[in-house]
Amino acid sequence: MSTQIEQETERETEQTDEQSPEQRRREAKREREAERAEEIERALSEAEKTVELKIFRYDPEVEDKSEPRFDSFTIPFHKGMTILDAIIYARDKYDSSLTFRHSCRQAVCGSDALFINGKQRLGCKTQVGELEWPVRIEPLPHQDVVKDLVVDMQHFYDQMHAVEPYFEPDELPDGELEEQRQDPENREKVKLSTRCIWCGACMSSCNIAAGDNEYLGPAAINKAYRFAMDEREGQDRKQERLRIIEQEHGVWRCQTQFSCTEVCPKDIPLTEHIQELKREAVKNNLKFW
């Protein structure tokens, strides 16, 4: 088999001046596709194992993709392979129209939250070897699908923005080059909440958010927690923050099912943060009676 491949790759096509650019491109494409098919075949036969991916496909604009379906891709598996590695392989070697968001490859940009074997996970930090095969990969549930694995994140962003997600201290120090003081313990208290990468996994996993479109959701409430608990902002601002999360579609909707906490790729104790804000809100209301 290997000799046959060598022979084929050695074969070269003469390019003549008479070729039109279009012919040239077609010719180049044919050659490349043949090379790639051989490369895939070689990789598959050399790999100790191959893994099958079943990937959700949908494109409202393209005729044979306008009805959602699953495509199967067989990928040569290697130790350490992540889901992101696997779908990049599927895209670059089999089907360049396979669409998903990804950028940093290291779990900090939050682009590639996907529904993998029935659970929200980041593609880049999910090991293929630790999953049941074949692996089923779908876009995040409870969000509109734009195409293939890409969902519309607008609603998620709207909810994030609804909690006034920006630092606004009651006052700032006067001195030149003077920072606000923050107790290391207080920094520790907000530390986990500041790790959020806006991937949307929590929101997608939340039953309450699925049933109540106006529910702020775990990520946005965690963002509110991040500021409400930061001693640098001051008490006045904290009052306003508690008012925001106490609204009808705020913290009281949470039924402590812990699904958000379970799927958070940054291990943020989301449910605990929501519970703590509930307690803060109660304490705060008692204070005014």
Does residue 59 interact with other proteins by CB under 8 A?
Answer: yes
What's the sign of the alpha-carbon dihedral 194, 199, 201, 207? positive
The CB-of-255 to other proteins minimum distance in angstroms stands at 28
DSSP per residue over 167-222, as a string? ---S----STT-PPP--HHHHHHHHGGGG-----HHHHH-HHHHH-TT---HHHHH
3-class SS at 122? strand
- Under the binding rule (CB under 8 A), the answer on residue 243 touching other proteins is no
13 counts as binding other proteins under rule CB under 8 A = no
Beta carbon of residue 289, minimum distance to other proteins (angstroms, whole number): 32
Pairing between β-strand 145-147 and β-strand 113-116 as defined by DSSP bridges: unpaired
If one asks whether residue 21 binds other proteins (CB under 8 A), the answer comes out as: yes
The letter for the amino acid at 218 is P
Distance of alpha carbon 73 from alpha carbon 128, whole angstroms: 14
Residue written as tokens 């804000």? 277
Using CB under 8 A as the binding rule, the residues of this chain from 246 to 275 that contact other proteins are none
- Candidate ranges 201-209, 214-222, 225-233, 241-249; the one touching other proteins (CB under 8 A): 225-233
If one asks whether residue 138 binds other proteins (CB under 8 A), the answer comes out as no
Q: How far is the CB of 193 from other proteins (least distance, A)?
A: 9
Name every residue whose Cβ is closer than 8 Å to that of residue 266 and which is 6 or more positions away in sequence. Answer: 107, 192, 195, 196, 197
Considering only 43-51, 92-100, 247-255, 268-276, which stretch makes contact with other proteins by CB under 8 A? 92-100
- By CB under 8 A, name the binding residues for other proteins: 21-22, 24-26, 28-29, 32, 36, 59-62, 80, 92, 95-97, 99-111, 125, 146-148, 150, 153, 157, 161, 164-169, 172, 177-184, 187, 190-191, 194-195, 197-198, 227, 230, 232-233
